[in-house]
């Protein structure tokens, strides 16, 4: 998907120099580990090294993009030549994504140009997803749902968290994931009270919760979901906490729509927990946007004053964590619509007992 026109429409500088892999992919649709996406004086460029030569030429064939592949020294020389044009006096760059040493190298390379930070404006372009992007995220979420269903038959007492993680990731791959959206979380027993517990060789046992938080990558886009399941019969307190998290999520999901502010929706969940005596056990934000990156802005948290817009894709993931006892998190992935949401997550949220 070619989006160079968005750089043109931004109209912030005479040239835009895109260095980060996520934004190069967003604006050009071509994934590579090295290169530059440049929009300068009305022209579009993709510069990369010789490893991608054949593929990049085929990708942009008959497109309005000038392609160059060569050694890094050749690429940098071409970049310098292109941007040295006297019609260019300001160059926009990703101040929130490049390193200080990269910026000083660019300044040395082009001493007469003014470098203008435009990172925030570039990220803002990615807040609202287009139809193509929503379709890729939805496909990535379908992979999650299928892998989760398969995994439920696999889990048995005595297995380690690590074994469960390996099987879950295998199922994600088997069902079409080109990669993982992030490092899979599998937490069991007392480990579930740590929201981002590190996977361990702990063996799962009856009467425990298991938290599974995972995501697939599909055509460059991420998905994200969490389910908390019980192995054998849960205690009454476990059921109560599970029910409370589910109710908080339902409140938030019902309030989500274009025009609602992120803070309002976060507060509904937070206030519900507080009213039930668990305000301090809700240890993180309510959710985040998902796209090319697993965590994108805007977020649903106590600081987010953003008004939500049509076609934003967000997670809704309340959780309660009782230190040294257990925790519960339930996470769905949704698309914001004018009148509500489309929930992309199909897996049941009734407490599943395996
Ligand atoms: Mn998440």
Q: Outline where the chain has alpha helix (H).
A: 4-10, 21-28, 53-59, 72-84, 100-109, 119-125, 131-154, 161-174, 236-255, 262-275
Residues of the chain with pLDDT under 50: none
Report the distance separating Cα 101 and Cα 99, nearest Å: 5
Question: Ligand 1 mean position to 197 CA, how many Å?
Answer: 14
| Reduced DSSP (H G I as helix, E B as strand, rest coil) percent helix, strand, coil of the chain, to 5 | 40, 25, 35
Question: Ligand 1 mean position to 116 CA, how many Å?
Answer: 32
Q: How many CA atoms lie within 13 A of 250 on its CB side?
A: 8
Residues with Cβ < 8 Å from 126, sequence gap 6 or more? 26, 291, 292, 296
Question: Ligand 1 mean position to 144 CA, how many Å?
Answer: 13
* Residue closest to 342 by CA, chosen among 307, 316, 321, 304: 316
- What residue ranges of the chain are covered by domains with CATH 3.90.230.10? 131-343
Pull the structure tokens for residue 284: 């993180």
Question: Ligand 1 mean position to 211 CA, how many Å?
Answer: 13
Q: What integer pLDDT is reported at residue 325 of this predicted model?
A: 97
- What residue ranges of the chain are covered by domains with CATH 3.40.350.10? 4-125
Question: Ligand 1 mean position to 29 CA, how many Å?
Answer: 24
Report the distance separating Cα 93 and Cα 120, nearest Å: 10
Q: What integer pLDDT is reported at residue 179 of this predicted model?
A: 98
Question: Ligand 1 mean position to 322 CA, how many Å?
Answer: 20
CATH architecture type of domain 4-125: 3-Layer(aba) Sandwich (3.40)
Question: Ligand 1 mean position to 296 CA, how many Å?
Answer: 10
* Residue closest to 245 by CA, chosen among 129, 350, 89: 350
Contact between 18 and 40 (Cβ < 8 Å): no
Question: Ligand 1 mean position to 225 CA, how many Å?
Answer: 6
Beta bridge partners of 68: 47
* Residue closest to 321 by CA, chosen among 350, 282, 292, 289: 282
* Residue closest to 161 by CA, chosen among 194, 225, 210, 195: 210
Pull the structure tokens for residue 332: 């769905």
Residue 80 CB: number of other CB atoms within 10 A? 12
Crossing angle of the two packed helices 262-275 and 236-255, in degrees rounded to 10: 150
Task: Indicate left, alpha or beta for 42 from its phi (over 0: left) and psi (-120 to 50: alpha).
Answer: left
Question: Ligand 1 mean position to 182 CA, how many Å?
Answer: 10
Question: Ligand 1 mean position to 32 CA, how many Å?
Answer: 26
Question: Ligand 1 mean position to 234 CA, how many Å?
Answer: 25
Q: What integer pLDDT is reported at residue 306 of this predicted model?
A: 84
Question: Ligand 1 mean position to 11 CA, how many Å?
Answer: 33
Contact between 164 and 248 (Cβ < 8 Å): no
What torsion, rounded to 10 degrees, do the Cα atoms 279, 281, 283, 287 define? -70
Q: What integer pLDDT is reported at residue 176 of this predicted model?
A: 98
Specify the fold of 131-343: Creatine Amidinohydrolase (3.90.230)
Question: Ligand 1 mean position to 253 CA, how many Å?
Answer: 15
């Amino acid at each position: 998907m070619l989006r160079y026109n968005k750089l043109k429409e931004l109209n912030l500088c005479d040239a835009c120099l895109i260095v980060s892999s996520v934004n190069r992919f967003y604006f050009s649709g071509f994934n590579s580990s090295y290169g530059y996406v440049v929009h300068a004086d009305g022209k579009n460029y993709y510069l990369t090294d010789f490893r991608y030569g054949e593929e990049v030429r085929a990708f942009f064939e008959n497109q309005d993009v000038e392609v160059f592949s060569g050694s890094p020294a050749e690429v940098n020389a071409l970049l310098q030549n292109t941007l040295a044009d006297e019609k260019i006096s300001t160059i926009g760059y990703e101040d929130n994504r490049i390193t200080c040493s990269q910026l000083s190298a660019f300044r040395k390379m082009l001493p007469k140009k003014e470098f203008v930070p435009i990172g925030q404006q570039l990220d803002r372009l990615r807040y609202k997803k287009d139809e193509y992007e929503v379709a890729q995220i939805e496909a990535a979420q379908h992979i999650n749902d299928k892998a989760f269903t398969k995994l439920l038959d696999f889990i048995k007492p005595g297995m380690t968290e690590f074994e469960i993680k390996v099987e879950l990731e295998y199922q994600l791959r088997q069902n079409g994931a080109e990669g993982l959206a992030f490092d899979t979380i599998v937490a069991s027993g007392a480990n579930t009270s740590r929201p981002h517990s590190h996977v361990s060789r702990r063996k799962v046992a009856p009467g425990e919760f298991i938290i599974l938080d995972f995501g697939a990558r599909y055509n460059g886009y991420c998905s994200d979901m969490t389910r908390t399941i019980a192995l054998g019969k849960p205690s009454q307190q476990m059921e109560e906490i599970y029910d409370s998290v589910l109710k908080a999520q339902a409140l938030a999901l019902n309030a989500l729509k274009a025009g609602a502010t992120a803070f309002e929706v976060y507060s509904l969940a937070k206030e519900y927990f507080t009213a039930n005596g668990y305000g301090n056990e809700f240890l993180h934000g309510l959710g985040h946007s998902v796209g090319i990156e697993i965590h994108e802005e805007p977020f649903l948290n106590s600081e987010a004053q953003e008004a939500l817009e049509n076609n934003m894709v967000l997670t809704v993931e309340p959780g309660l964590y009782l230190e040294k006892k257990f925790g519960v998190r339930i996470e769905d992935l949704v698309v914001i619509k004018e009148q509500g949401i489309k929930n992309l997550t199909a897996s049941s949220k009734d407490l599943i007992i395996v």
